[in-house]
Amino acid sequence: MTDDVTQRVADWWATSVSRVEPGVIELRGLPIQELLGGTSLTEAAWLLLRGERPTARQVQLLDAALVGSVDHGPHAPSIAVARMAATCGVGLNNAIASGVNVMGDVHGGAGQQCLELYSELLDGAGDDPDLTAATRATVARWRERSKYLPGFGHRFHPRDPRRDPLLGLVRRAVDDGVVEGRFLAAGLAVEAAIAPVPMNIDGATAVIYGELGFPAPLARGLFVLGRTVGVLAHAWEEMREGRRIKGPIPPEIRPTYRP
Amino acid sequence: MTDDVTQRVADWWATSVSRVEPGVIELRGLPIQELLGGTSLTEAAWLLLRGERPTARQVQLLDAALVGSVDHGPHAPSIAVARMAATCGVGLNNAIASGVNVMGDVHGGAGQQCLELYSELLDGAGDDPDLTAATRATVARWRERSKYLPGFGHRFHPRDPRRDPLLGLVRRAVDDGVVEGRFLAAGLAVEAAIAPVPMNIDGATAVIYGELGFPAPLARGLFVLGRTVGVLAHAWEEMREGRRIKGPIPPEIRPTYRP
Amino acid sequence: MTDDVTQRVADWWATSVSRVEPGVIELRGLPIQELLGGTSLTEAAWLLLRGERPTARQVQLLDAALVGSVDHGPHAPSIAVARMAATCGVGLNNAIASGVNVMGDVHGGAGQQCLELYSELLDGAGDDPDLTAATRATVARWRERSKYLPGFGHRFHPRDPRRDPLLGLVRRAVDDGVVEGRFLAAGLAVEAAIAPVPMNIDGATAVIYGELGFPAPLARGLFVLGRTVGVLAHAWEEMREGRRIKGPIPPEIRPTYRP
Amino acid sequence: MTDDVTQRVADWWATSVSRVEPGVIELRGLPIQELLGGTSLTEAAWLLLRGERPTARQVQLLDAALVGSVDHGPHAPSIAVARMAATCGVGLNNAIASGVNVMGDVHGGAGQQCLELYSELLDGAGDDPDLTAATRATVARWRERSKYLPGFGHRFHPRDPRRDPLLGLVRRAVDDGVVEGRFLAAGLAVEAAIAPVPMNIDGATAVIYGELGFPAPLARGLFVLGRTVGVLAHAWEEMREGRRIKGPIPPEIRPTYRP
């Protein structure tokens, strides 16, 4: 009888990610000591999310997507919010959490939405290697909702400097049989269909996440992981400088009052 | 005159981490495209935090510390809170932020405190290679505040399975001249002084962070980065399962009311 | 020219909520000193959200909705998460933020969704005082999406003890000409249509928010305000007791591992 | 045996704040239905924090302190962060949590520190009605740590417009025997000792919280509750306007890069 209650409580928190017993920590069935020394943080992320170890070439692609996301400038709310938080007398973890918390549908969700777009396009194409019709139909459907397609165009960069190197890596991976290339084809097909608007970082990382087999919501989850690096670096810089209570603009400029 | 105001506003958000112009993203002075393909997320973290690239052996040590921190089981509040959040209808980023937010002084701060302990010990020893006296004095001072030393002992593991592999990596790095070995010596000196209480994961990662030259607050910052991987994996598992509003215990057990 | 930049920066943060000059703080055009002494927090909330002062009877209804939301027990993730956070060495504000952060679409959004349901029903009815047809149509449409209607039924309470007193207050307010009664009629019409499932707290507070003229998203915003009181009280209790790192279940029960 | 496990799990989440059974919600022993109609949110906060109902005059003082804290302008990080969050595609609750999360030791902690200062002064004075010596000693001790005393002086307002009305309310409450007046005396004694630096909002609310018998950490907790109103109003204004991804400054001004 005791066992029944204990079991129900234990089951309430059941998980396939980790198992812990006195002296034992296993991640996805692997003793943690086997992961210390030859495993990178990115490999550990793949293992914990998918339950198996990645190959070196898969890791290279994932790292490129993550590194491409660490920081795109101090204007980003995730960065700015973390910096302001760091000056308010909270812990470094709280400052990071404040930055992560604003990576919402609009600020952190474009990669996820773009991967959904690609997936819908590829589902539409089915076995047909020619994506033209499926691209036209998918783009039209998405444009009914918004003239902006997630993953394409940038309000700041005429051409995102991360597009070419990321797509180049994917192309080489396709050539070497590491990935299939269907998401790359989908991304290029959309880009061609809406020319001259170029693919941006979210469109390029969505190609990578799709090729690697990650479901769309993890495009956001992995963006968060990558961006945490930039958030940490900016929050730490601000904390080290010791400024107190940083508002959004210099205090001598008073926000306009609009009754 | 315009330039003065513009400059003041631009300076208000000045940073040495990243520079962005149309078509340009530079991280610590390096064009981001140079980092896409041959740079891991861990290397990018080092670059953004310190302004220079690490060596391969430095990266191996940092990765080991980060991987050792990703997850030590579903009892950890950072993990449990993120899982509960994931069932409440918030974004994956909000669930991760909820987990990161609880990595406070007590849950995420032991590595930082332990690195402060080691640093104090090494400052006390100065040039003296014999750490005995400095260890005795430092341990005594810290024990006045609390009988528990941060980084040593564990309420759950008789011996933390991560201690030996992590210290082994540091020892090899010392042998190969990658790091100096002073923080390793400090950690072992404390462990010997308070035997039989063994070093735990926080004590071992503090050795690594100290050897690599990270200041104490970044021991917490880097713990947050590593643990974000585990938080993401657990939150995603919970979100995928689709459970709604997960309380802390099965609903048929009612928390005790203590007037 | 200077003025142009200054103006653009000032306009970037323009707001109609508050104006601040040296020695002056105005909230919605009222000097703050006029609000100190005769104004309750609830009245201030109304003023800041709507730009005008409420009547005493409006405040009574709003207070009832807010007080009805402060706490419905320690099983709620908002409460449990804040308690866990409070034991991790973060500030009391961080513990409260952790609790607020999980009041998402599922945990804090039912009031908002229910107010949308009522509004859709009333829009459908137009000038017709007989809500029967509009209710049938609206309930049918919502049930296509989910068999559960937001604001009705409870997995725990056979009949929510807050329903009757809240609806009684609204009825008296209708009788006295304080509110029109259309949202009360809508709520009762839905309840009759899906009998015997009774209205719950979210359905009853949505009636109040609707009668008072709040838009649906503020049903969630005001729920957050009310619940902050319960979150604060629970986090403070936990902090005062001084427990360290409270996991979700007693440590001797190990979560089930499900490979 | 079953009961033992169940009991341990139930005790793990024991609380004196609320009790819930099917059909029953009790807050501090009172059925919630008794609180709906004649109880304000502020009264509910008092009840949940202290376990008993306040008098009308106590509520008036508490409301004044809370209303004085709702908003002191759009420069405050709590307000600005919540506004930025609201434009990033997160829930209104997440935007509020982001604002609450930055009310740390520096941004939200001055009231708490000031109440500690007053308490230390009054402890030093003991039964002596003349606070001169205790004030001199306490101020000297605090000034060793920092030349700024929490609760006094303001970088923006030459004289905080909230000081006089709040202290006036306390004085009337002292005259009417509602509170003792010791914390008012302490605050005025400090103000006289460091003239001409005037008491600010944190110093005035600390007087109120002290007179009402709240422990120092709740000065921060109650500040958070009050400020949540302003955070909600600003986040809602921003959300309603529908702007997307609001950075800290207009995008045409690029933050300075300082290598």
Is the Cβ of C100 closer than 8 Å to some Cβ of chain A?
no
- Closest-CA residue of C relative to A258 is C16
Q: In which residue ranges of chain D is pLDDT below 50?
A: 1
Average pLDDT over residues C144-158: 90
- Using an 8 Å CB-CB cutoff, list chain A residues near C94: 90-91, 94
- CA A92 – CA B214 distance, rounded (Å): 15
- Closest-CA residue of D relative to A243 is D106
Is the Cβ of C2 closer than 8 Å to some Cβ of chain A?
no
**Closest approach of B52 to chain C, Cα-based (Å):** 32
Whether the CB-CB separation of D151 and D202 falls below 8 Å is answered with yes
For C24-82, the pLDDT digits (tens) are: 999 999 999 999 999 999 999 999 999 999 999 999 999 999 999 999 899 999 999 99
Predicted pLDDT at D2: 57
- Using an 8 Å CB-CB cutoff, list chain B residues near D90: 90-91, 93-94
Helix-strand-coil percent breakdown of chain A, rounded to 5? 60, 5, 35
- Using an 8 Å CB-CB cutoff, list chain C residues near A259: 16, 29
Residue in D73, D89, D255 closest to A74 by CB: D255
Answer yes or no: is pLDDT of C158 > 90: no
Residues in chain D: 259
Q: In which residue ranges of chain A is pLDDT below 70?
A: 1-2
- Using an 8 Å CB-CB cutoff, list chain B residues near D99: none
Q: Which DSSP string corresponds to D202-251? A: HHHHHHHHHHTT--HHHHHHHHHHHHHHHHHHHHHHHHHHT-----SS-T
- Using an 8 Å CB-CB cutoff, list chain B residues near D15: 255-258
Looking at the DSSP bridge assignments, the partners of residue B18 are B27
**Closest approach of D74 to chain A, Cα-based (Å):** 7
Beta carbons within 8 Å of B204's beta carbon, 6+ residues apart: B65, B68, B151, B160, B162, B163, B166, B167, B187
Is the Cβ of A88 closer than 8 Å to some Cβ of chain D?
yes
- Using an 8 Å CB-CB cutoff, list chain A residues near D4: 2
Q: Which DSSP string corresponds to B56-74? A: HHHHHHHHHHHHTTS-S-T
- pTM for the model stands at 0.98
Is the Cβ of D197 closer than 8 Å to some Cβ of chain C?
no
Whether the CB-CB separation of A134 and A122 falls below 8 Å is answered with yes
Residues 5-44 of B with CB under 8 A from A: 5, 8-9, 12-13, 15-20, 22-25, 27, 31-33, 35-37, 39-42, 44
- Using an 8 Å CB-CB cutoff, list chain A residues near C18: 257
- Using an 8 Å CB-CB cutoff, list chain C residues near B2: 1-2, 4-5
Alpha helix (H) ranges present in B13-55?
A: 41-50
SS (H, E, C) D15-73: ECCEEEECCEEEECCEEHHHHCCCCCHHHHHHHHHHCCCCCHHHHHHHHHHHHCCCCCC
Residue in C18, C91, C255 closest to A14 by CB: C255
Check CB contact under 8 Å for D249 and B16. Answer: no
Is the Cβ of B150 closer than 8 Å to some Cβ of chain A?
no
Instruction: Examine the predicted complex and report whether its ipTM is higher than 0.90.
Output: yes
Residue (of B173, B199, B170, B197) closest to B187 by Cα position:
B199
Beta carbons within 8 Å of A130's beta carbon, 6+ residues apart: none
- Which chains touch B (3+ CB pairs under 8 A)? A, C, D
Domains identified in chain B and CATH numbers: 2-38 (no CATH), 55-248 (1.10.230.10)
For C197-236, the pLDDT digits (tens) are: 999 999 999 999 999 999 999 999 999 999 999 999 999 9
Check CB contact under 8 Å for C101 and B90. Answer: yes
Residue in D41, D63, D230 closest to C66 by CB: D41
**Closest approach of C129 to chain A, Cα-based (Å):** 36
Check CB contact under 8 Å for B12 and A249. Answer: yes
Give chain C's mean pLDDT. 96
- Can you give the pLDDT of all 259 residues of chain B as single tens digits? 457 999 999 999 999 999 999 999 999 999 999 999 999 999 999 999 999 999 999 999 999 999 999 998 999 999 999 999 999 999 999 999 999 999 999 999 999 999 999 999 999 999 999 999 999 999 999 999 999 999 999 878 888 999 999 999 999 999 999 999 999 999 999 999 999 999 999 999 999 999 999 999 999 999 999 999 999 999 999 999 999 999 999 999 999 999 9
Check CB contact under 8 Å for D23 and C158. Answer: yes
Residue in B18, B249, B258 closest to D16 by CB: B258
Residue in D19, D21, D254 closest to B10 by CB: D254
Q: Which DSSP string corresponds to A125-163? A: HTT-S--HHHHHHHHHHHHHH-SSPTTB--SS-SS-TTH
- CA C201 – CA C222 distance, rounded (Å): 13
